[in-house]
Structure 1
Amino acid sequence: MVRELLSQAEKQYLEDYGLGGLDPEHLMIRTFRKGEFLFEQGTALEKLIIILEGRTKVYSMAANGKSLLYCFNDPGAIMGEVELMTGAYASSSACAITDVKCVFISYERCRDELTSNLKFMNRICSVLAEIVVQDSINGALNILYPFESRLCAYISMTSEEGIFRAKLTELAEFFGTSYRHLLRTLENLCKKNVLEKSAEGYLIKDERKLKTIGIQYYSV
């Protein structure tokens, strides 16, 4: 039984969305390794996804190859709610940045039950409202704050055990900046004693300063 595979805390995530009464046959537990996609932009998204363990990043790619990072999703976060309501293809991609455990709920089997569930719909309205507010904040911060702030926020959210590891060429493309500018920014952070370059990546020397520079980007 699917529910027997869930901890009490994980069952509570379902309850929080008013989904505790769903037929267990309609639930599917899935795991993804770090770097795997839960779904990709432009594909049909046929299930609602609730994160149980791990973290994902959600972003979109423009036709010119530039990307826009929307947010990071932690346990309890839901994805696919927009596509459930609109029937559209996925407008973004979700990639696991740690190992991820999640529950899938099929649209085909559960659409009527989901859309007639008042508690679920109220919760989805709240989630969508929070997304609109945070997107507005992030949009303003993108204009008003420098690249260094976005980079620090990203490092803070994706580092593991105090070490930031990333392919810098891909990271530069992800942020839509030049590789040279990325290296200069990382070098400046090292000079400020926020980071320290090592063979493993970049060690976080001053986490408080890193978060201060990074402000509140990419919150869900």
Structure 2
Amino acid sequence: MKEIHDDVLKYQLIEESNYKTRFSMDILHDTRLIQVPAGGFIVKEASQPTYLFYLVRGRAKLYASLPNGKVSLIDFFSAPCFIGEIELVDTDHEPRAVQAIEECWCLALPMKQYRPLLLNDATFLRNLCVALSHKNYRNIVSLTQNQSFPLINRLAAFILLTQNCDIYREKHTQAAEYMGVSYRHLLFVIAQFTHDGVLVKQKGGYIIKDKKRLTSLAREMDPLNNFTTLFH
């Protein structure tokens, strides 16, 4: 993670993301532009974030380390959205890791300085409530899909969601746990994708060779999502 001192790019991203409308106060002077490379951390686990982030480009994943040593995927974020808002509201909340799937660009406000101001900003709090309600609805839809569709559809959507530059690298154990299936069942469907030429195994992951097939399978489950924006 590094701060980028480029006012032209910063104000371009501010305008593109409607960042100013999220607040009633003038926050532009103290807003920083942060770049996080793919695989880098926006928030580190158990470490209180220094900033309230507003993701304006890129995708990230939220996960937690469990007492038994396992790592559990919890959720995925795509721009535009706040990151660190729970830690802003609840100082006792133990932060979970937020890791960039692809290069991410964030607008950031110093957390300590702005916490009392933001917690009294009705516009910000209203936007935050709407964002949290959308996140809750998305989680409900995801749970319903997990219960209603076969793994081949869910895995296709998961691969599209987590790929970077047409490479899928998620650990099988974490993917299986996230989708609520057995490790063996997951490997069976991945082997099917490999056999059909949808994926090609390489060291450290899989190359996506047939994006149309994955997208078609994913859209059977989520018709309103064309998934094409996930590819560059």
TM-score normalised to the size of structure 2? 0.75
Count of aligned pairs = 210
Compared with structure 1, are the counterparts of its residues 203 and 2 closer, same or farther at alpha carbon in structure 2 (3 Å cutoff)? closer
Counterpart residue identity of residue 87, structure 2: E
Alignment of 1:121-140 (within 5 A): 121-140=125-144
SS at match of 1:6: helix
**In structure 2, what is the Cα distance between the partners aligned to 1:206 and 1:99?**
21
Would the aligned equivalents of 2:101 and 2:163 in 1 still touch at CA under 8 Å? Answer: no
- Which residue of structure 2 lines up, in the alignment, with residue 67 of structure 1? 72
**1:85 Cα deviation from its structure 2 partner:** 1.3
- Which residue of structure 2 lines up, in the alignment, with residue 112 of structure 1? 116
Q: Unpaired segments of 5 or more residues in structure 2? A: 228-232
1:78 to 75, 82, 100: 82
Counterpart residue identity of residue 173, structure 2: E
- Which residue of structure 2 lines up, in the alignment, with residue 171 of structure 1? 171
**In structure 1, what is the Cα distance between the partners aligned to 2:152 and 2:63?**
19
Please give the root-mean-square deviation of Cα atoms over the aligned residues, in Å.
2.9
- Which residue of structure 1 lines up, in the alignment, with residue 34 of structure 2? 30
Compared with structure 1, are the counterparts of its residues 134 and 165 closer, same or farther at alpha carbon in structure 2 (3 Å cutoff)? closer
Greater relative contact order (CA < 8 Å, ≥ 6 in sequence): 1
**In structure 1, what is the Cα distance between the partners aligned to 2:215 and 2:95?**
29
Compared with structure 1, are the counterparts of its residues 37 and 67 closer, same or farther at alpha carbon in structure 2 (3 Å cutoff)? same
Q: Deviations over 1:1-48 (max 9, x none)?
A: 775441434345321312671151x32222111111111333223421
Counterpart residue identity of residue 101, structure 1: W
Q: Deviations over 1:111-168 (max 9, x none)?
A: 122122221111101001111111122222233334433321121123345x3332xx
TM-score normalised to the size of structure 1? 0.79
**In structure 2, what is the Cα distance between the partners aligned to 1:156 and 1:2?**
31
Residue 52 (structure 2) pairs with residue 48 (structure 1) = yes
**1:174 Cα deviation from its structure 2 partner:** 1.6
**In structure 1, what is the Cα distance between the partners aligned to 2:21 and 2:64?**
28
Deviates more, 1:5-14 or 1:111-120: 5-14
Alignment of 1:199-210 (within 5 A): 199=202, 201-207=206-212, 209-210=213-214
**In structure 2, what is the Cα distance between the partners aligned to 1:50 and 1:19?**
16
**In structure 1, what is the Cα distance between the partners aligned to 2:151 and 2:104?**
29
User: Identity of counterpart residues, as a percentage?
Assistant: 19
